[in-house]
């Protein structure tokens, strides 16, 4: 299992509020490579599927309505220790408990509308990345490096 890939979404509230650029800058400044990215609009069904692990929770219906109310940005990110380092960069689920300077502290509107999603394990990062992207839409640093070496040599 790769330890250098994580999956993130910029959630509808943060996209609508115009924070996409600032959040992407924080991600790159923290040393992550954006190896796949798309703006897309989840249906309620897709949001329910993505958050199926929470289906018994009282906030499931509200959360999945919020996540499908307007477009999100889906991201695959690469860095050593990606999952843990990204969870540190985004901060606690509840922005009230998030460290100063974290993405959620800066951009969350509420516990539910907490600006970004971050995968919580290497396994879930892979599952979530493949929920949004096919293999041919993810350009890892190694692939880009190998391909540019071939182009430079020709």
Residues catalogued as catalytic? 117
Q: At what angle do helices 82-90 and 122-132 cross, to 10 degrees?
A: 80
For ligand GDP, which residue of 84, 120, 138, 140 counts as binding (CB under 6 A)?
120
Q: How far apart are CA 153 and CA 90, in angstroms?
A: 40
Q: Under rule CB under 6 A, which residues in 47-76 are in contact with ligand GDP?
A: 59, 62-63
* Residue 147: CB minimum distance to ligand GDP, A: 34
Q: How far apart are CA 67 and CA 73, in angstroms?
A: 11
Please report, for the chain, how many H helices and E strands are present, in that order: 8, 4
Backbone angles phi, psi at 38, to 5 degrees: -150, 150
Diameter of the chain by CA atoms? 59
For ligand GDP, which residue of 93, 109, 124, 126 counts as binding (CB under 6 A)?
93
Nearest to 5 by CA among 136, 134, 139: 139
Residue with tokens 């640093």: 141
* Residue 61: CB minimum distance to ligand GDP, A: 10
Of 32-40, 114-122, 123-131, 143-151, the window that binds ligand GDP (rule: CB under 6 A) is 114-122
Q: Is 111 in the site for ligand GDP (CB under 6 A)?
A: yes
Q: Is 114 in the site for ligand GDP (CB under 6 A)?
A: yes
Q: Which is nearer to ligand GDP, 93 or 140 (CB)?
A: 93
Binding site for ligand GDP (CB under 6 A): 59, 62-63, 93, 111-112, 114, 117, 120
């Amino acid at each position: 299992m790769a330890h250098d890939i994580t999956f993130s979404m910029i959630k509808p509230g943060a996209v609508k509020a115009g924070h996409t650029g600032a959040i992407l800058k924080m991600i790159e400044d923290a040393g992550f490579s954006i190896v796949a990215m798309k703006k897309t609009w989840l249906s309620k069904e897709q949001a329910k599927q993505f958050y199926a692990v929470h289906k018994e929770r009282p906030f499931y219906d509200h959360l999945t309505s919020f996540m499908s109310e307007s477009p999100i940005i889906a991201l695959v990110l690469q860095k050593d220790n990606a999952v843990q380092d990204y969870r540190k960069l985004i901060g606690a689920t509840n922005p009230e408990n998030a460290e100063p300077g974290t993405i959620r502290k800066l951009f969350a509107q509420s516990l539910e509308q907490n600006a970004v999603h971050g995968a919580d394990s290497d396994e879930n990062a892979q599952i979530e990345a493949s929920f949004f992207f096919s293999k041919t839409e993810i350009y890892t640093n190694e692939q880009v490096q190998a391909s540019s070496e071939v182009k430079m040599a020709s």
